[in-house]
């Protein structure tokens, strides 16, 4: 099969590496891809959000299957547009992608079907938000833009002044554009967070190994929120008992709810969960693989990724085995100093051979923000590389990943030095 992966970050690189192991995959492309991905796939410079150009390219090259990995093309209906020209694709259609693209949609879905989540209210009038927050008088309070906002549309407000600032930023200054036309105001929950990615074919849901993201820029979960500075899998808080409860109370009801709403979910449904004192609750749904969760989940997948993906599209997931190997994986992100705010690009990356560390056993370097400049690998984004190691145990995986990071250098490199620390503490 000739396959196209839409996107160009570390997640897409991990998907490509896993797909290439399939005996059914004969040729693989990525659009737009990046410098490091070009060692593993043919890259075509089309923006992931350019639905028209992407569909035209897919027809021209006669791809057998397209994997749409990124949220915005899914929300724009790329899977529908590909289906319209007869090209099957991995991922939800536009209607089902609303589970991530509209927080109002997902919160109302959870309420209607009794799926545990934080209490909330929806507003389109800034003055009403502030009146509501004032009446409730419980801080912190969480204010979320309705639409996609690159993971930055969630503001945790410690007092009324912060809530005022959040409303101004989202609803008046429209920092996230039309995403801020509506906001969700939510109760603040506490407890360990768990990411569970799952394969869905509209009717059946098969969860993948659990993982833990590290969203803040600095050690000790300090600093600004980022796209994710590192991940580990499995997540030690996600015990078999918690997994059973999540399946009963969250995963199955969600898939059924989407079916009943007339928009069955196909693709990868990502459950962002918080294990609160009152039980597991949904913090957010994503309609796609997580980044950098994918970089620790797929290296532990034992089954053939392409076969499982095709089963989600065909509706045959119930008959398809999805298994993960024992052991653990850890991913440490090497970022450009200054990320998630401003940072410099074009720094030469030293230490890699064809984008990898061939001497290091069980280590893979996933490229997120790299470019090739006259054959030399340089930085081209905030998150530059994800260094993933697998091992029998989490301590070994972390040790391997951090040792590998020592071999890679670029000017102003920033990484967290405590990825996995909380997971290790939970295992004591």
User: Cα–Cα distance between 37 and 294 in angstroms, integer?
Assistant: 15
Residue 286 binds to ligand GLY (criterion: CB under 6 A): yes
Which part of the chain contacts ligand GLY (CB under 6 A), choosing from 21-29, 175-183, 287-295, 357-365? 287-295
Q: Are 195 and 235 in contact (CB under 8 A)?
A: yes
If the CB atoms of residues 58 and 333 are measured against ligand GLY, the closer one turns out to be 333
Which part of the chain contacts ligand GLY (CB under 6 A), choosing from 24-32, 249-257, 289-297, 315-323? 289-297
Residue in 293, 306, 328, 397 binding ligand GLY, rule: CB under 6 A: 293
Residue in 71, 146, 201, 284 binding ligand AMP, rule: CB under 6 A: 284
Pick from ligand AMP, ligand GLY, none: which does 228 bind, CB < 5 to 8 A by kind? ligand GLY
Which part of the chain contacts ligand AMP (CB under 6 A), choosing from 87-95, 164-172, 182-190, 354-362? 182-190
User: Cα–Cα distance between 397 and 385 in angstroms, integer?
Assistant: 17
Shortest distance (Å) from residue 211 CB to ligand AMP: 13
Which residues from 110-169 bind ligand AMP, rule CB under 6 A? 118, 142, 151, 154
Shortest distance (Å) from residue 270 CB to ligand GLY: 7
Shortest distance (Å) from residue 212 CB to ligand AMP: 11
Residue 28 binds to ligand AMP (criterion: CB under 6 A): no
If the CB atoms of residues 200 and 283 are measured against ligand AMP, the closer one turns out to be 283
The full DSSP string for 252-266 is: HHHHHHHHHTT---E
Residue 56 dihedral angles phi and psi, to the nearest 5°: -60, -40
Shortest distance (Å) from residue 32 CB to ligand AMP: 24
Length of the chain: 428
Shortest distance (Å) from residue 129 CB to ligand AMP: 15
Q: Mention every residue, 6+ apart, whose C-beta is less than 8 A from residue 280.
A: 116, 194, 242, 245, 246, 249, 250, 273, 274
Residue in 15, 229, 268, 283 binding ligand AMP, rule: CB under 6 A: 283
Pairing, β 2-7 against β 65-68: parallel
Pairing, β 183-187 against β 193-201: unpaired
Residue 290 binds to ligand GLY (criterion: CB under 6 A): yes
Residue 304 binds to ligand GLY (criterion: CB under 6 A): no
The reply to whether omega before 391 is within 30° of 0 (cis) is no
Q: Tokens 């059973």: give the residue.
A: 244
Q: What is the DSSP letter of 180?
A: G
The full DSSP string for 29-59 is: EEEE--TTGGGTSEE----TT-HHHHHHHHH
Which residues from 189-208 bind ligand AMP, rule CB under 6 A? 189, 193
Residue 71 binds to ligand AMP (criterion: CB under 6 A): no
Pick from ligand AMP, ligand GLY, none: which does 283 bind, CB < 5 to 8 A by kind? ligand AMP
Shortest distance (Å) from residue 172 CB to ligand GLY: 26
Q: What number of chain residues touch ligand GLY (CB under 6 A)? A: 7
If the CB atoms of residues 37 and 115 are measured against ligand AMP, the closer one turns out to be 115
Residue in 40, 72, 213, 261 binding ligand GLY, rule: CB under 6 A: 213
DSSP three-state, residue 380: coil
Q: Tokens 């990124």: give the residue.
A: 70
If the CB atoms of residues 25 and 386 are measured against ligand GLY, the closer one turns out to be 386
Q: What long-range pairs does 54-60 form, CB within 8 A, spacing at least 24?
A: 54/6, 54/78, 55/81, 55/82, 55/85, 55/87, 57/4, 57/31, 58/4, 58/82, 58/85, 58/87, 59/85, 59/87
DSSP three-state, residue 330: strand
Residue 151 binds to ligand GLY (criterion: CB under 6 A): yes
User: Cα–Cα distance between 357 and 355 in angstroms, integer?
Assistant: 7
Residue 215 binds to ligand AMP (criterion: CB under 6 A): yes
User: Residue numbers of the site for ligand GLY (CB under 6 A)?
Assistant: 151, 213, 228, 286, 290-291, 293
User: Residue numbers of the site for ligand AMP (CB under 6 A)?
Assistant: 118, 142, 151, 154, 186, 188-189, 193, 215, 272, 283-284
């Amino acid at each position: 099969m000739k396959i196209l992966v839409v996107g160009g970050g570390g997640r897409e690189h991990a998907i490509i590496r896993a797909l290439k192991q399939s005996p059914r995959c004969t040729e693989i492309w990525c659009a737009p891809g990046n410098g490091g991905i070009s060692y593993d796939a043919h890259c075509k410079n089309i923006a992931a959000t350019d639905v028209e150009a992407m569909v035209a390219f897919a027809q021209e090259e006669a791809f057998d299957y397209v994997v749409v990995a990124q949220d915005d093309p899914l929300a724009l209906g790329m899977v529908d547009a590909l289906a319209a020209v007869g090209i099957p694709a991995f991922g939800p259609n536009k209607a089902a992608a609303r589970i991530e693209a509209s927080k109002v949609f997902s919160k109302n879905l959870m309420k209607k079907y009794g799926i545990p989540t934080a209490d909330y209210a929806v507003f389109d009038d800034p003055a009403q938000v502030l009146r509501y927050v004032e009446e409730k008088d419980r801080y912190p309070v969480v204010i979320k833009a309705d639409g996609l906002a690159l993971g930055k549309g969630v503001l945790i407000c410690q007092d009324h002044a912060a809530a005022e600032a959040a409303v101004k930023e989202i609803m008046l200054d429209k920092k996230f554009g039309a995403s801020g036309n509506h906001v969700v105001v939510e109760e603040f929950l506490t407890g360990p967070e768990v990411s569970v990615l799952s394969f869905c074919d509209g009717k059946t849901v098969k969860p993948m190994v659990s993982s833990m993201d590290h969203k803040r820029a600095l050690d000790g979960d300090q600093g600004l929120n980022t796209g994710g500075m590192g991940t580990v899998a499995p997540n030690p808080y996600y015990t078999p008992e918690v997994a059973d409860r999540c399946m009963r109370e969250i995963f199955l009801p969600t898939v059924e709810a989407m079916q009943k709403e007339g928009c069955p979910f196909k693709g990868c449904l990502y459950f962002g969960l918080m294990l609160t004192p009152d039980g597991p609750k949904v913090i957010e749904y994503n309609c796609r693989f997580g980044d950098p969760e994918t970089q620790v989940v797929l290296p532990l997948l034992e089954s053939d990724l392409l076969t499982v993906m095709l089963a989600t599209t065909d509706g045959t997931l119930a008959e398809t085995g999805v298994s993960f190997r024992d052991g653990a994986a850890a991913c440490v992100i090497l970022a450009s100093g200054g990320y998630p705010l401003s940072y410099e690009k074009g720094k030469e990356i030293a230490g890699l051979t064809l984008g990898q560390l061939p001497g290091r056993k069980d280590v893979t370097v996933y490229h997120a923000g790299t470019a090739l400049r006259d054959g030399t690998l340089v930085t081209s984004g905030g998150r530059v590389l994800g260094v993933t190691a697998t091992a029998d145990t989490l301590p070994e995986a972390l040790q391997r990943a951090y040792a590998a990071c020592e071999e890679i250098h670029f000017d102003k490199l920033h990484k967290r030095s405590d990825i996995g620390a909380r997971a290790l503490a939970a295992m004591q």
